[in-house]
Structure 1
Amino acid sequence: MKEKSERKILVLYTGGTIGMHREAEKGPLKPGTAEDLQKNIPELEDLPYNIEWQEFRKDGEFIDSSNADVEYYNQLAKELGKAQEKYDGIVVVFGTDTMAPSAGSISYMLEGLKKPIVFTGSMIPAIDEGSDGPKNLIDAIHVAAKSGNE
């Protein structure tokens, strides 16, 4: 394992396809947790940053991003604003169905912040062969760690 840099990165897990898992080999996909996602991408351990994980839920549940409402976005923006004080960069793991408008809305809500917030997700669950999830998440962490505050 590489020596960790001073960069402190938050990965805020909101759910999405990237973290879906199956309870049985051929079973239906179900929402997973941040811990599940970390276990499915062992390469995360090799990244040279201090990475902390948090989960963001509405009323105790992960929600489909297409069901996010104004209250959800307000709570998410508040959480991200607080995190800016503690971290050098933030990665938001989010559903791809609404990622572009969601990231855009958050960027307007948090206008003027000096630290990067990077949204990422995947079209295929990280547990499946050929998934874009592991690379997307690793690349997002690198961008969050190296952008805006060097």
Structure 2
Amino acid sequence: MFAATFGDPTGPDGAARSALLWQFESAPSRVRQTAAERAAFEESLVADLRATTGRYPGDPDVAALVSRLSASPRFRELWALRSVSEHHSAPKVVEHPEVGDIALDSDVLTTQGSDLRLVVYTPRPGTGARSKLELLASIGTQKMTPSY
């Protein structure tokens, strides 16, 4: 369902599987955000990453991620704030090429004493998103428009 909704998350280096890389490396995205939603999402992601660096101060993978993200001026700006918190939720509108806009709420569920996180996307009530997701559950990633 993720691939059908957001697009194929696989890639040569797995970057599309990282919300941080996706957000700060300006990868093509079906997600549409207002300027305020984008700013809040980015602030929350960076504060969450800073919390992760506190839990794993010597982890070379975390250090490599921070180094890679530091190529982004926006990331550097937010990193300099030194905010620490956990990312919990964000509204999203997915611009889907086959079914149109899908309004979603995303919530991050965590387990106490563990680093396990589960991102749950739910259709925003009153938007028609539920029926679009049901259609995507049927068609998957196939294209419904003819290609000429």
More contact order relative to length (CA 8 Å, sep ≥ 6): 1
Same fold, judged at TM 0.5 (above): no
Q: Which has the larger radius of gyration?
A: 2
Q: What band does the TM-score fall into relative to the shorter chain?
A: under 0.3
